[in-house]
Structure 1
Amino acid sequence: MNTSTLSILLGLGGKCLLNWVLVFLQRRHICRSFVGVFSVSLSVLDTAMTLIFVSIHIHAEGPLFLLDWQLTRYHTCLLVQILGQVHSVLQWPVVLVASLDHFCTVSLPPASFRVKWIVYSFVTVLLWNLTALYVFLLSDFNPVLEDVSHYQINQCWVFHSTQILQVVTLLSLTQACAVLHAVCHSRLSENPSLKNQITNQSRTLSRRSFVCQVLSMFLSTWAPLLIFLAVLLLLPVRIPSYLGLNVAWLCFLNSFLIALVLSVVCPTPQFAQGLAAVPADSFCEWRVKFNLAAEDRT
């Protein structure tokens, strides 16, 4: 779809502003998770790209050189398409790495902040470099540029991203399966011993309560955004690829993955005893109330 360069600049400017506002709001523990470190890197790169676009737009009638390379409006369109392609490719790797990070946080003993920050920074840099190499060397990405003088270019061809809706659909189905398993677990288990039956029923009730509370806390914060994404899924509305990956989306994804990991792993006894850690989240307060009687029986 053709989009005016002014609209692209306004969209990128609004995206950068939103990115830095959310990074500032999460400043206390922004570097305590992979999603936080990746959000900072995304904000820095998006800001650098936006400044380049603004410089090209301002000097559209005259030459603009960067390292002896003359930049024109052709490069604006080219960089927008490359940026969108990189953001689209990054969606699933970010989901996988963030899921692994949350799983390790919940299941393993906590590591020191310095070690975690070094690992997160290394993985973030590695992801950006591998994605760029994939886009330029292995993917079938072909830029779409108009065959006119760069002085006459007022619009750029913009690709659209479907990865966001794919991610939400898959994670929603996985979350639904986790909830269904927690609810139906007692009906699927058969226990010959009365004592074992009472114990397993207590564990099932505890697990069911835990998963339902996790789901309730997530929905109480992010239900409006889920409704908005459902509308996008039903309507023929497309998201420009250069806007698809942003800090707001990463914040939602972070909460979604925490809820998913907690529902799947369900470390109820560890949480009750204060032995399990919850991944950093600035939007959802993961405070679960436990049935102490059930916990004592387990």
Structure 2
Amino acid sequence: MDDNDQAETFERFEPSCILILIITGKIIMNIFISGAKRRSVSPSFMGYFCLSLAFTDFALLISVFSIHYFQDFAIWGVRFTTYHICLLTQIISHTYGILHYPVFVASGLDYYLTIVKSVHLSRFCSGFLYCAVVLLLWTLAFLYTLNIPAGLAEWNAGVISHQCTFYISRQSFYLSAAIVVTVFMVLVICCFEVVALIRTMKLTTYCDKTVILFSYGNEWPIRSTRCLLTSFLFSFLGTWAPFLLIQIIIIFSCAHIPGYMDMNVAWLYFMNSFLVGVSYSLEYPNIPIIERKLNVDPFIDWKYCVYPFYTEDSQITALKEMPLEVVI
């Protein structure tokens, strides 16, 4: 094989190798995020969808790697070549790209019913319902992608790599912008409370772990919507500040991220924490201390933010045993 043939072969297979490396990195990130979350949380739609996304990413990696390795083969009469690597990734990118809004709405509706409206279903019924909704969303998204007009697909394309054109989702861009704007609006509205809370900040240890304590004084319970929002803001930023910074950089740089990377487990749990905080804010000041309602976020323990603001007289005596601080 001469140099020209080697160069052509390298150019032909380079996109496949890049895709395999990128998708492998995404799966490693999914595993890391899944390992970092708390294990004992109540089931939610977002949790089930994240599992389905991780499975889809793994299936995509196996498919791309198989096509890249065998190059030209047939299964049940269907022939697969290296061309199908681009085709398959394009389909996945479109499917991921149109799911941001539906997942956001479905998860928000789930928390509105379970947290704000206190709708309670058995674990079996809720699990069956979540699985059905997740399956329905994936099915509708795939059907829509496979039937999308070719002209519209080309109009929405944004990234071209070695003849592979990948879909760029505007849904994730607008959702990121909305979350960033909301966080900064809360920061501006509660600026005085933020300064006061920072002044009371102190480090301590609890169960051999370093924690940050913020004191609200001697009042119990605390009756202030702004203080509650400030508490939520500190908890949210204490967990997701690096990811929020990444979103800000992406927004201002107008970075083009392919759909198969834009939808990931880290982004979904970031959005999940935002929705949980919004749900608790909507229910204030009537937030009942029920473990299944306060234990829905696998990354933020919101109950330490809620306890100082709890106003149920029958439970005040028991809650006074807890410190007048918010633990981040």
With normalisation by structure 1, the TM-score equals 0.77
Contact residue 221 and residue 308 of structure 2 kept, 8 A: no
Consecutive unaligned residues in structure 1, runs of 5 or more: 145-152, 184-201
Q: 1:230 to 1:25 in 2, by over 3 A?
A: closer
Partners of 1:216 and 1:156 in 2: CA distance:
42
Q: 1:214 to 1:87 in 2, by over 3 A?
A: same
**Partner of residue 124, structure 2:** 114
**Partner of residue 97, structure 1:** 106
Within-5 A mapping of 1:213-252:
213-252=231-270
**Partner of residue 141, structure 1:** 153
Q: 1:280 to 1:223 in 2, by over 3 A?
A: same
The one of 54, 61, 70 aligned to 1:50: 61
Q: Percent identity?
A: 28
**Partner of residue 192, structure 1:** none
Partners of 1:295 and 1:237 in 2: CA distance:
48
With normalisation by structure 2, the TM-score equals 0.71
Q: 1:242 to 1:17 in 2, by over 3 A?
A: same
Q: Matched residue of 1:141: which SS?
A: helix
The one of 130, 140, 144 aligned to 1:130: 140
Consecutive unaligned residues in structure 2, runs of 5 or more: 1-13, 192-219, 314-328
Within-5 A mapping of 1:32-111:
32-60=43-71, 63-107=72-116, 108-111=118-121
Q: Matched residue of 2:308: which SS?
A: coil
Mean CA deviation greater in 81-90 or 278-287 = 278-287
Letter in 2 for 1:267: Y
Contact residue 12 and residue 50 of structure 1 kept, 8 A: yes
Partners of 2:173 and 2:295 in 1: CA distance:
24
Partners of 1:87 and 1:245 in 2: CA distance:
6
Within-5 A mapping of 1:17-28:
17-26=28-37, 28=39
The one of 200, 204, 208 aligned to 2:226: 208
Q: 1:7 to 1:215 in 2, by over 3 A?
A: same
Q: Matched residue of 2:121: which SS?
A: coil
1:11 to 2:19 alignment = no
Within-5 A mapping of 1:245-260:
245-260=263-278
Within-5 A mapping of 1:179-198:
none
**Partner of residue 268, structure 1:** 285
Q: 1:177 to 1:20 in 2, by over 3 A?
A: same
User: Alpha carbon RMSD of aligned pairs, Å?
Assistant: 3.2
Render the CA deviation track for 1:88-122: whole Å, top value 9, x for unaligned: 00011000001111111212143221111111100
Partners of 1:205 and 1:235 in 2: CA distance:
41
Partners of 2:237 and 2:38 in 1: CA distance:
24
Q: 1:182 to 1:233 in 2, by over 3 A?
A: closer
Letter in 1 for 2:147: L
**Partner of residue 297, structure 2:** 281
Partners of 2:114 and 2:40 in 1: CA distance:
14
**Partner of residue 179, structure 2:** 171
Q: Greater relative contact order (Cα 8 A, min sep 6): structure 1 or 2?
A: 1
Partners of 2:58 and 2:42 in 1: CA distance:
19
Contact residue 74 and residue 80 of structure 2 kept, 8 A: yes
**Partner of residue 162, structure 1:** 170
Q: 1:204 to 1:175 in 2, by over 3 A?
A: farther
Letter in 2 for 1:159: Y
Partners of 2:221 and 2:181 in 1: CA distance:
24
Q: 1:120 to 1:174 in 2, by over 3 A?
A: same
The count of corresponding residues between Structure 1 and Structure 2 is: 265
Q: 1:236 to 1:276 in 2, by over 3 A?
A: closer
Letter in 1 for 2:60: M
Render the CA deviation track for 1:275-294: whole Å, top value 9, x for unaligned: 882252121111224257x7
Partners of 1:266 and 1:208 in 2: CA distance:
14
Contact residue 160 and residue 240 of structure 1 kept, 8 A: yes
